[in-house]
């Protein structure tokens, strides 16, 4: 009987150890056994995080008014990192209104932050890229392609653009097309460049459609085809691409396309 009691006790302790979760906003808080309690605590931590982030953004605004750019950048980045902790987690499923508020506040701060010249943007890109965010992977590629805050590296740029492209981030398709077409990074491979541009064009990217049209018109990286050029210019023009409208009119005047395409 005593052995059975010991076995039950050992099993119970094991379950407790597996299910126990400490609060993310106060690591010193004793772990909670019940997952529902733990998730409730996390939702409260998220609310606290939003308050802290709000204070950081308020400090950032005050610093900006004093032209104290370093402090502004530090405060904005701190706000983002505070909120980033609660961008994921099991608690979000049971507390969607709070999770939505976290996401909205995070998006608002991030949108403002990326318009700045803050050096912490590089840290943000790395952080989010390592978490698998395509937008950040693409921007990290841009950082390396231009050498902004890092040693310029076409190989690193290519790597991050490829990661973003694997997640079907269309601007990354264009970035790869440009790397293969302009000869600045590598020896031009126009057929490869066309393939990348065409992938984005097929998915509705207006600028890619414009570029693909131009490549068909010139016969660059693909067999020359005025009909397809006009077709892609039309698709881009339908998306309000002014350059495509101009080029399409040029083709009409040059007799390269019939007005029926418009």
154 inside domain: yes
The CA distances from residue 64 to 69, 113, 115, 124, 208, in Å, are: 6, 12, 14, 20, 38
Tell me: do 110 and 130 sit in the same domain: no
Instruction: Kindly tell me if the per-residue pLDDT of 185 is higher than 80.
Output: no
**CATH code, 101:** 1.20.58
Pull the structure tokens for residue 40.
Answer: 């409730």
Residue 15 lies in a domain: no
Decide if pLDDT at 186 tops 80. Answer: no
Strand locations in the chain (E): none
- Cα separation, 59 vs 63, whole angstroms: 6
**Secondary structure letter of residue 83 according to DSSP:** H
CA-to-CA distance for 130 and 106, rounded, in angstroms? Answer: 18
Do residue 175 and residue 163 come from a single domain? no
* CA–CA dist 75, 168 (Å, integer): 33
Q: What's the pLDDT at 187? A: 85
Instruction: Let me know if residue 85 belongs to a domain.
Output: yes
- Two tokens, residue 227: 């009909």
Q: Could you tell me if 217 and 224 are in contact, meaning their C-beta atoms sit under 8 angstroms apart?
A: yes
Residue 234 lies in a domain: yes
- Look up the CATH number of the domain holding residue 216: 1.25.40.10
pLDDT tens sequence across 217-240: 999 999 999 999 999 999 999 999
In this predicted structure, what is the pLDDT of residue 95? 96
Residue 22 counted as domain residue: no
User: 252 vs 262, which has greater pLDDT?
Assistant: 252
Question: Is-contact 69 56, C-beta < 8 A?
Answer: no
**pLDDT tens column, 116-155:** 999 999 999 999 999 999 999 999 999 999 999 999 999 9
Please report whether residue 14 resides in a domain. Answer: no
What is the C-alpha separation between 30 and 138, in angstroms, rounded?
Answer: 41
User: Domain of 211?
Assistant: 170-262
Q: Are residues 156 and 192 in the same domain?
A: no
Chain centre to alpha carbon of residue 51: 25
Q: Kindly state the average pLDDT of the residues 72-96.
A: 96
């Amino acid at each position: 009987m005593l052995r059975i009691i010991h076995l039950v006790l050992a099993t119970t302790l094991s379950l407790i150890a597996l299910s126990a979760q400490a609060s993310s906003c106060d690591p010193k808080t004793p772990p909670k056994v019940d997952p529902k309690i733990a998730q409730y605590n996390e939702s409260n931590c998220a609310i606290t995080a939003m308050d802290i982030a709000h204070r950081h953004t308020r400090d950032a605004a005050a610093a900006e008014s004093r032209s104290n750019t370093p402090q502004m950048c530090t405060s904005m980045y701190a706000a983002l990192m505070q909120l980033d902790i609660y961008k994921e987690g099991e608690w979000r499923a049971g507390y969607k209104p709070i999770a939505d508020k976290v996401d909205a506040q995070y998006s608002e701060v991030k949108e403002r932050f990326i318009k700045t010249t803050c050096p912490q943007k590089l840290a943000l890109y790395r952080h989010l890229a390592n978490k698998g965010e395509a937008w950040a992977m693409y921007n990290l590629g841009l950082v390396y392609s231009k050498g902004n805050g890092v040693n310029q590296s076409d190989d690193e740029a290519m790597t991050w653009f490829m990661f973003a492209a694997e997640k079907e981030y269309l601007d990354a398709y264009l970035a790869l097309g440009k790397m293969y077409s302009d000869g600045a990074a590598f020896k031009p491979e126009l057929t490869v460049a066309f393939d990348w541009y065409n992938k984005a064009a097929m998915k509705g990217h207006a600028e890619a459609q414009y570029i693909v049209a131009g490549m068909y018109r010139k016969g660059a990286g693909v067999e020359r085809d005025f009909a397809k050029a006009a077709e892609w210019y039309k698709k881009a023009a339908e998306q309000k691409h002014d350059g495509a409208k101009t080029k399409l009119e040029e083709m009409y005047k040059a007799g390269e396309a019939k007005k029926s395409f418009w």
